[in-house]
Each structure stands twice: as C-alpha cells, then as structure tokens.
Amino acid sequence: MKQIGFTIKSFKPDVSLDWEYGNNSVRIYKIKTHNKAFNLQHGRSMYDTTYINGFKVLGKKGNKYSVEVYKDGCSTITYDNILEKKMDTFIFNVNNWENRDADANKLKAEKRYDEYTK
C-alpha cells in the first residue's frame, strides 16, 4: 500500500445496525451503510490531522511521503510532508480495515439484524 502509484478512491463502507421507534413504540431495525474515513496525520503536531476517504501515494523523498487524499464532497488535497512513521500507522489501520475488519463488521451487523428481526 505504500508503493508509489497505489490508489484507493474510497475505503470499504462501514456497515452498522440502527433502529428507531415506529408505531406503537415498536423498534424498527435497519442496516446503515456509510463511508469509512481514516485519520491521517500530515504534520508533526497531533492536531495536524485530517479524516480522509481515499488516497494515492505520489512519491517518497527521504522519510517523507507525498500523498494525494480524497475527501467526500471536497476536491483532492496533496500533502508532501507525511512522516514515514505516521504513514506506517495509517497504512496499518487501512490494511486491517480493508482486509479483515470491514467484512467482519458487515457480517456482525447482518447477523444481529437477522436475530432482531425474526
């Protein structure tokens, strides 16, 4: 995922179980899907962060990455000074979500939905 040119336009969606009260105070369950966003630290301060929905690795110079990020409803933004250590943490989180957690989360939500709507 850290290779130059690697692109993810949007991460796998986050699926959750939601409910609301209908007539006669009966719960109505539904499955909600929304875009997943990850926190990317683009500066040295912990406050230099942004939530993104996708990214493209543009290059690496020394221990800093140049990354183009995609946000919902915004144009693309390029960050040139993402430290390798921060990029490693970000890639670790994205890799876990894309390869393991997203599918497990979806199955869990669907299983709970089936249990509650029987």
Which tokens in the block code for residue 17? 């179980």
Task: Determine the Cα–Cα distance for residues 19 and 11; give it in Å rounded to an integer.
Answer: 25
Q: How confident is the model at residue 75 (pLDDT cuts 50, 70, 90)?
A: confident
Q: What is the rounded average pLDDT of the residues 69-82?
A: 89
Q: If pLDDT is split at 50, 70 and 90, which confidence band does 14 have?
A: very high
Q: What is the pTM of this model?
A: 0.85
Over residues 80-104, the pLDDT tens digits come to: 999 999 999 999 999 999 999 999 9
Who has greater pLDDT, 43 or 10?
Answer: 10
Q: What is the DSSP letter of 101?
A: I
Tokens at 60, concatenated: 């690496």
Average pLDDT over residues 30-57: 92
Domain ranges of the chain: 7-116
What is the mean pLDDT of the segment spanning 20-33? 90
pLDDT bin (cut points 50, 70, 90) of residue 22 is confident
DSSP 23: G
CA 51, CA 70: separation in Å to the nearest integer?
A: 9
CA-closest candidate to residue 82, choices 99, 98, 97, 63: 63
* pLDDT at residue 73 greater than cutoff 80: no
pLDDT for 39 equals: 94
Tokens standing for 70? Answer: 């995609």
